[in-house]
Structures are given as structure tokens and as C-alpha cells.
Homo-oligomer: A and B are copies of this chain.
């Protein structure tokens, strides 16, 4: 991989990238920003780790590109930098957790800690979280369980950009699910995917290039098929995984709905079209709510509550090797969920994280505001 680094740099430059940030310096800078709004050191480190892990794994839309957004949340009084995260109700294998308007980046890992603690005693642990905010990449939280020989689950809902099948109204978020399943010698299986045909970030790339979308990604304001990369800004919507009814969009809709019902209704957070947007100003004046903040649903299942972990993990190795060695379509190969992000993480931690111009400008502006050294490369 590292042989291609010069080529990558060239491509990045072409795509408006002008800086390759150093992983450690970037994380240190993010820590200092979170501390500037009042987070304690421990929380700031945790939040920065979640955020920069998105960048290092190539999920740039959920990394430091969002840092300014989290600070806007704080500015608008929606983010409590010193949350009292507490269990409101519990049973041996469950807990309802109040995130106290904290950073989802901090609330979700703490919910996973609670889930793993429950799983240690009761076999599994399931935590519904209310009153939280955007939690970054779901995969980070799910992965926390794997190192403890547990299967990890993380879901969250988000503000409505997606239409149920046959709807003109956007009622669901991109509502991702992550599941991590540890193996023995093979790396952990990590599925982490939105319940839509594509991530919003892919539309943004087309917007920058002035290109149309393929069929099956978006619809227009009348619910008709569209190829407009700006469809959402023009009253349209992202389509559920499957695209249209003929290709199973009712399944993507069902999946997004399950995530919303577990993250929102089961937790007592908002749900459906009432889920608050990440950090836009418009929402700050929106009056109607049906619950508390944004919700998540986090789970951990101890493997040896089912069968001996060593036997399970040997079978995982067999599964992974069989799939990875499958006869592939010419010129392609079959990969395991989590492969590309893991490879990129090693690459970027060693060689740096490419940041596009607008993101660097946003980061720099925060350094001026908080009087911080801006040294990330």
C-alpha cells in the first residue's frame, strides 16, 4: 500500500487537498479544541480518538470535518461539555442511559462500557441511549467489544434525509448499523453501513465535480427517480438501500426503521422526522420534539455465553478465509467487511491524513477563536 502513497498524494491534490495532517498532531489538536469548550481531559481524549479514527479509516465525512459542527452545537446550547451520563433504569442485561446532552463521541463509548459490563455478568448487555448527540462512526463503538471476546453492536439514528418506499417526505436518517465479530488469527469482522443506497458524502463528491448520480441513489421532490446530485437541497431525498420497490427498497426502509425504533423509541429520544439535525442553525428554532435529543442503541454479546470463544474464533478464521479466497469476478477480489478501513488506518497513521481545503480552514478558524497553536502537520 505504501508504495502508492505518492500517487495518492497526487490524486488528493487534484481533489482540492492541500494538507497531509499528522495523525498524532491532529488528534492532539482536536483534544485541545474539546478542552477549550470545557470538556475534561479524559473526555476530550476519548472524543478526539473517535473523531480522528474516522479520518484514519477513510470515513472522512465523520471525522475532523465535523469538528466545527460539534462546536456549533455547543454555541447553540445543545451540547453539554460536562455531562452527567447516568443509568436511568436497568435490568441484568439492559440499561437506559441519559447522555445529558453530552458529545455522542463520549456518551456512546461509555454506553458500550456499560453494555460490556452487563455482558460479563449476564451474557449480553444492551443499552438504549437518550439525550445524546452525533456519535461519529458506529464502527468505533462496536469495535470496543471485540477485544473482550464479545460481539459488538452500535446503531444510531440521524436527522431525516431518507424517504420510506413510496414516500415524498423524508422521515428517516441514514441510520447506520455496525456489528463487530472477533476472529482468532484473522482480523475482526466489522460491518459498518448506513441503511441507504449511498452515503451523503458520495453526493458531495459528485456535486464538487458537477456530475450526475447513477440511477437508484436519490429521488426528486415529487418522489420521482432523479440523477440530481443536489436532489436533497432541491427537496428530494436519499433512497433506502435497494433504491426502488423493484430492487428491495422496502427492505432498506425496514432496516432504517428498526434502527430508528431501537435508537429513538426504545430510548425515549426523538424519532423519525423529529430527530434533530447534527448542527445546523435552522433546527435551533424548531419547537416540536417527541423525546430527548438523539438516541443510540449499543449492545455486547459475550461469545462464551454461547460457546467457547476459542472454538468460535477458529470457525471465524475458517469463514473469513473461505470468503476472502472465493473465486472472484475478473479483475476484482472478494473482501471481508472492515478490510478496506483497516488497511487505510495503518496507512494513514503512518503516512498522514489528507485534509481538503475547507476542512483545514474550519480547523484553523477554531485555533484563532480558542487561541490554540495550529500545528497538525
A residues at B contact (CB < 8 Å): 89-94, 96, 121-124, 126, 128, 151, 164-169, 171, 179, 181, 189, 191, 193-198, 214, 216-217, 222-224, 241-243, 246-248, 250-255, 257-258, 260-262, 265-268, 271-273, 290-291, 301-303, 305-307, 311-312, 315-316, 318-319, 322-323, 326-330, 332-335, 337
Contact = CB atoms under 8 A, between A and B. Distances in A.
The 4 closest A-B pairs by CB, nearest first: A91-B123, A223-B329, A191-B254, A94-B123
Contacts of A261: 181, 189, 316, 319
Interface of A, helix, strand, loop or mixed by DSSP: mixed
A258 B192 CA distance: 11
11 contacts: A167-B323, A168-B328, A181-B258, A181-B265, A197-B248, A222-B330, A242-B242, A265-B316, A265-B319, A271-B315, A271-B319
A303 B266 contact: yes
Q: How many copies does the complex hold?
A: 2
A259 to B, nearest CB: 10
A370 B316 CA distance: 44
B94 A305 contact: yes
A248 B189 CA distance: 18
Contacts of A273: 322
B241 A251 contact: yes
Contact of A248 (B198, B272, B307, B323): B198
A243 B204 CA distance: 23
Given A93-B305, A197-B247, 10 more contacts: A89-B307, A91-B122, A93-B123, A122-B122, A167-B329, A191-B258, A193-B251, A222-B329, A247-B247, A266-B303
Contacts of A248: 193, 196-198, 241
B332 A166 contact: yes
B93 A214 contact: no
B92 A123 contact: yes
A207 to B, nearest CB: 17
Contacts of A124: 91, 93-94, 124, 126
B126 A123 contact: yes
Contacts of A214: 246-247
Contacts of A191: 254-255, 257-258
Nearest to A128: B306
B250 A168 contact: no
Contacts of A337: 250, 253-254, 257
Nearest to A124: B93
A222 B327 CA distance: 10
A217 B328 CA distance: 18
A265 B312 contact: yes
A127 to B, nearest CB: 9
B301 A164 contact: no
B327 A168 contact: yes
A268 B328 contact: no
A266 B323 contact: no
Nearest to A299: B124
Nearest to A265: B315
Given A179-B258, A290-B318, A167 B326 contact: yes
B94 A121 contact: no
B266 A151 contact: yes
A351 to B, nearest CB: 25
